Amino acid sequence: MRRALGLYAVAFYAFLHLPLVVLAVFSFNASRFTLWEGFSLRWYQAAWRDPQLAEATLNSLIIAFTATALSTVIGTLCAYGLWKRGAPALSGSLYLSLVTPEIVTGVSLLAFYQWVFRYLHFELGLHTVILAHVAFSLAYVVIVVLARLRTLDATLEEAAMDLGATEWGAFGRVTLPALAPGIAAAALLAFTISFDDYVITSMVAGVDSETLPMVIYAMARRGANPVVNAISALIVLGLGGLVLVSERLRAR
Amino acid sequence: MKRLRRAFLSPAWLVMGVLFLAPLGVVCLYSFLTRGAYGGVGGPGTAANYGRLFDPLYGVILLRSFLMAACATALCLLLAFPAALFIARAGRRKNLYLQLVIIPFWTSFLVRIYAWMFMLRDTGLFNTMLQSLGLIREPLPLLYNDGAVLLGLVYGYLPFMVLPIYATLERLDPNLLEAAADLGARPWAALTRVVIPLSAPGIRAGAVLVFIPTLGAYLTPDLLGGGKSIMIGNLIQNQFTTARDWPFGSAVSLALTALAMLLLLVFLRRRGEQLL
């Protein structure tokens, strides 16, 4: 039974990881086709020279950095506010935002933006994408930070205040430093899901705000293209690294 | 203390209110309106959009989504249980094995779907390999069918099943297994009559966590089904883009969200546990 379980585990992990490994291996293939013809970096060079990819990557980075900064600050404050006493209505809407299918979040934001644009003179663009990303990543930040807060001793703050610290002082100099790894883990997670999002982004992006996942999606639909393998390998490496760090921070 | 707390919660309220609840409200409103002549939205108010959910044309899509989500959940359970058991018994390497499940999961959903397109398409890895081995002459139609979508769903949400089952197995008292063995149970009997029944809470949690997102899946059926294997998510997207029938799309969206919420509520009620 033990042996069987071990063998199964090998197959299971192969199923989880091999598709990504194979994808990465073939990004170094000299041939355009799926037969191995030797090592080459030509697809990476092609990806590097593609101006559309460069612009989309820049957009994705701008969106992910801005949205992460906003949702990390807002989410951390929110988690702190929920720590000692719950707010069922707010928690409820955060839960709801987690279980709402992405496509529904996307179309409802689209409908909402169109409705607002009737009264205000705005258009879809990077800003609408950033706002959408803040909204859908907020719940993740709150969960991660709150999990960390729950491991802290709430009486430490009271002790600080007994010793003369103000509320702000106790928060800023006692709780916040202890919370830092949790906040960093939350930020990395928020960055990852923002950088990777296609479904919601594609609904609320304007003509000038194409993101990297949108370009990959379009290329993947058009047909086999080893350039996509190259970008995919880079994304897996980059985001995988972020997630690894995030997991480590959370385990601390 | 109260004022600080209110100040801390208000930005989150603002974000959730304006960028999540208000948009859902707009969709709710639209779902009771009529589609205008040029794809716009207008009066008179009607509940007919919800009635159309039972139109056979769309009913088929709903039914198929339920079946796909149910099959994906069952397959995930089948694949995840032994894996969770393996991790729970891995001793010091537990965390490593656990992270090996989690990391690809958070990495990139789009890339993970693309990896399967790369392997399954006509000029993909499997077909090319089989052709060069001389086993087949024409490429097999592996991509753009229900099977490919199901595979993608299972691959995409498998960790959601592994983690909660692992969590219950972890907490399982090893003495119970010894007791079962002492009483003459063979390993298989101990598994089916002790371990599996006791891990029911984890199995339930995993089933809810897999069923909810697979029911509302959009990207997986879109890319791996290629328009041939449509699910509710694709129906919604289509109503908001090509078909330009926002009121009907809104009704489908709301029905789907309500169902997801209901499932979660029933589950949380039973479990009495909270994340937030």
The tens digit of pLDDT for each residue in B102-157 reads 888 888 899 999 999 999 988 888 888 888 888 888 888 888 899 999 999 999 99
Residue A240 lies in a domain: yes
Least Cα separation, residue B257 to chain A (angstroms): 5
Q: Is the Cβ of B145 closer than 8 Å to some Cβ of chain A?
A: no
Q: A39 forms bridges with which residues in the sheet?
A: A29
Residues of A in Cβ contact (< 8 Å) with B5: 81, 84-85
Joined together, the tokens standing for residue B199 give 């891990």
Nearest CA in chain A to B21: A93
Select from B86, B108, B165, B232 the residue whose CB has the most chain A CBs within 10 Å, as the one to mutate to test that interface.
Answer: B108
Contact A199 B219 (CB under 8 A): yes
Does A73 fall in a domain? Answer: yes
Q: Which of A168-172, B159-163, B170-174 has the highest mean pLDDT?
A: B159-163
Query: Is residue A3 predicted with pLDDT exceeding 60?
Result: yes
Query: Which pLDDT tens digit goes with each residue over A90-120?
Result: 998 998 999 999 999 999 999 999 888 888 8
Per-residue confidence (pLDDT) for residue B275, from 0 to 100: 53
Contacts 24+ apart (CB under 8 A), B57-62: B58/B235, B58/B252, B61/B230, B61/B231, B61/B232, B61/B235, B62/B232
Using alpha carbons, select from A176, A179, A177, A187 the residue that is nearest to residue A66. A187
Q: Do B216 and A101 touch (CB under 8 A)?
A: yes
Specify whether A89 is located in the same domain as A15.
no
Please check the confidence at residue A222 and state whether its pLDDT lies above 90.
no
Interface test with A, best of B62, B79, B111, B273 (most A CBs within 10 A): B111
Shortest CA distance from A225: residue in chain B = B118
Number of A–B residue contacts, CB under 8 Å: 255
Chain A residue numbers touching B275 (CB-CB < 8 A): 95, 143
Gap between the Cα atoms of A143 and A232, Å rounded = 28
Q: What domain range includes position A232?
A: 53-251
Any CB–CB contact under 8 A between B76 and chain A? no
Would the CB atoms of B124 and A110 count as touching at under 8 Å? no
Mean pLDDT of A46-61: 92
Asked if B143 contacts B104 with a C-beta cutoff of 8 angstroms, the reply is: no
Q: What is the full DSSP assignment across B149-201?
A: HHHHHHHHHHHHHHHHHHHHHHHS-HHHHHHHHHTT--HHHHIIIIIHHHTHH
| Nearest beta carbon to residue A135 from set B19, B250, B260 | B19
Residue B47's pLDDT is what? 84
Q: Band the pLDDT of B238: cuts 50, 70, 90.
A: very high
State how many domains chain A has. Answer: 2
Q: Do A13 and B100 touch (CB under 8 A)?
A: yes
Give B35's strand partners: B41
- Residues A10, A65, single domain; the answer is no
Are A24 and A116 in a shared domain?
no
Q: Identify the three-state secondary structure at position A29.
A: strand
pLDDT at B273: 55
pLDDT for B1: 58
**Taking the model in full, what pTM does it have?**
0.91
Task: Report how far residue A76's alpha carbon sits from residue A88's, in angstroms, rounded to the nearest whole number.
Answer: 17
In this complex, the residue of A143, A228, A243 whose CB is nearest that of residue B114 is A228
Q: Tell me whether residue A205 is in a domain.
A: yes
pLDDT in the model for residue B91: 82
DSSP state of A62: H
* Structural domain contains residue A46: no
Main-chain dihedrals φ then ψ at residue B144, nearest 5 degrees: 60, 50
How far, in Å, are A35, A52, A211, B123 from residue A32 at the CA level?
8, 20, 25, 11
A57, A161: one domain: yes
The minimal CB distance from B15 to the residues A5, A138, A213 is found for A138
* Residue B68, pLDDT score: 95
The pLDDT assigned to B193 comes to 81
Question: Pairing between strand B41-42 and B34-35?
Answer: antiparallel
Looking at the structure, tell me whether residues A211 and A133 fall in a common domain.
yes
Same domain for A191 and A236, yes or no, is yes
User: pLDDT value at position A152?
Assistant: 87
Q: What is the pLDDT of residue B83?
A: 95
Residues 157-186 of B with CB under 8 A from A: 158
What pLDDT is recorded for position A203?
A: 93
CATH code, domain with A160: 1.10.3720.10
Token code pair at residue A160: 């600080």
Closest-CA distance, A74 to chain B, in angstroms, reads: 6
Q: Residue range B220-245: average pLDDT?
A: 90
**C-alpha distances in Å from residue B111, one per residue of A93, A95, A161, A194:** 30, 27, 50, 14
Q: Tell me which chain B residues have a C-beta less than 8 angstroms from the C-beta of A102.
A: 216, 218-219, 233
The pLDDT score that the predictor gives to residue B254 is 94
Q: Within this chain, do residues A141 and A165 fall inside the same structural domain, yes or no? A: yes
Cα–Cα distance measured from residue A63 to residue A211, given in angstroms and rounded to the nearest whole number? 9
Is A141 inside a domain boundary? yes
ipTM, two decimals, is 0.90
A48 belongs to a structural domain: no
Q: How many residues belong to chain A?
A: 252
Is B218 an 8 Å CB contact of chain A? yes
Do A28 and A137 fall within a single domain?
Answer: no
What would the pLDDT profile of B8-56 be if each residue is shown by its tens digit? 899 999 999 999 999 999 999 999 988 876 667 777 778 888 988 888 8
- Shared domain for A96 and A15, answered yes or no, is no
Higher pLDDT, A16 or B107: A16
pLDDT confidence of residue A195: 94
Look at residues A138, A117, A107, A192 and name the one whose alpha carbon lies nearest to residue B16: A138
Helix pair A126-149, A51-83: axis angle to 10 deg: 40
Whether A45 is in a domain gets the answer no
The average pLDDT across A156-173 equals: 86
Interface contact flag, A90 B13, Cβ < 8 Å: yes
pLDDT at residue A16 in the model: 93
Check whether residue A113 and residue A17 sit in a common domain: no
Give how far A111 is from chain B: nearest CA, Å: 7
Chain B residue numbers with beta carbons less than 8 Å from the beta carbon of A13 are 100
**Mean pLDDT over the full length of chain A:** 90
Same domain, A24 and A106: no
**Can you list the domains of chain B with their CATH numbers?**
47-247 (1.10.3720.10)
pLDDT of A67 higher than 70: yes
CB of B212 less than 8 A from some CB of A? yes
Contacts of B123 in chain A (CB under 8 A): 33-34, 223-224
Name every chain A residue with its beta carbon within 8 A of the beta carbon of B249: 107
Mean residue pLDDT across chain B: 88
Confidence category of residue B175, pLDDT binned at 50, 70, 90: confident
Q: What's the confidence (pLDDT) of residue A207?
A: 82
Residue A17 lies in a domain: yes
Q: Do A78 and B117 touch (CB under 8 A)?
A: no
Looking at residue B271, what is its pLDDT?
63
- Over residues A62-77, the mean pLDDT reads 96
Is B158 a residue whose pLDDT tops 60?
yes
Co-location of A101 and A31 in the same domain: no
- Render pLDDT for B70-102 as a digit per residue (tens, 0 to 9): 999 999 999 999 999 999 988 888 888 998 998
